[in-house]
Amino acid sequence: MNTIYRDSSLNRRRMRDNYTNLPSLFFSMQRVVLHVDMDYFYAAIEERENPELQGKAVVVCMLSGRSELSGAVSTCNYVAREAGVRAGMPCSRAKKLSPDAVFLPVRKDFYTSVSDRIMEILRSYADVRENGDAFEQISIDEAFLEITEKTGWDFSLAFDIGNQIKKEIKEREKLTCSVGIGPNKLIAKMASSVKNPTGSQS
């Protein structure tokens, strides 16, 4: 009886070891990647700079200068989106959809200076690697950061880090962002766009 017990106990342990080893092997190949995307970036900065814009439709335009509203919409805020305004559409069409909207020209240099500060915050959360490839800025308001080592593949820890990032950016820059978490860049980006009201817009 004793022998049988010992044998079965050993078998159970072997089975358990085999069972637990397989996922750990699988997860050892996994990464933990965050995709951070600022919400309505240009429009949100303009709202922050001018509190009178709060609650109004704000449309930031890349103006060509040919006439007053010749050019394309670069970014708009949530109020303008509710009226049907979208990035890329002619500003004249945006004006028809949202006649009361405040139209502002793109201030690229200023947005870039805000972006630089945000990217420094994001970089500080990424894993530290000699070649620096744990952080990748992909546009003025989007970045991927790998936190595989920091989290040890623990996605709940990754969730906490995502919330910390949102909190720090909100406190320091008074801006909001969407954060997606995934085992690779593609899934992380898809995850951030689910909750991002701006989609892939700046």
The nearer residue to Mg ion, 151 or 201, going by C-beta atoms, is 201
Question: In angstroms, rounded to a whole number, what is the distance separating the alpha carbons of residues 41 and 113?
Answer: 12
Q: Shortest distance, CB of residue 78 to Mg ion, whole angstroms?
A: 12
In the chain, the amino acid numbered 155 is: F
Assigned token pair, 58: 């704000």
The nearer residue to Mg ion, 75 or 98, going by C-beta atoms, is 75
Instruction: Out of 46, 47, 142, 146, pick the active-site residue.
Output: 142
Q: Where are the beta strands (DSSP E) in 8-157?
A: 33-38, 58-63, 71-76, 102-105, 135-139, 142-146
Question: In angstroms, rounded to a whole number, what is the distance separating the alpha carbons of residues 196 and 192?
Answer: 6
* 136 noted as active-site residue: no
Which one, of 152, 172, 151, lies nearest residue 160 by Cα? 151
Between the two ends of the chain, the Cα-to-Cα distance in Å is: 70
Q: Shortest distance, CB of residue 41 to Mg ion, whole angstroms?
A: 5
Q: Which residues bind Mg ion (CB under 5 A)?
A: 37-38, 141
Q: Shortest distance, CB of residue 39 to Mg ion, whole angstroms?
A: 6
Q: Shortest distance, CB of residue 202 to Mg ion, whole angstroms?
A: 5
Instruction: Compute the C-alpha angle 112/47/43, nearest 5°.
Output: 55
Q: Cα–Cα distances in Å, from 129 out to 3, 97, 149?
A: 52, 48, 10
The nearer residue to Mg ion, 8 or 200, going by C-beta atoms, is 200
The nearer residue to Mg ion, 38 or 147, going by C-beta atoms, is 38
Q: Which residues does the annotation mark as catalytic?
A: 142
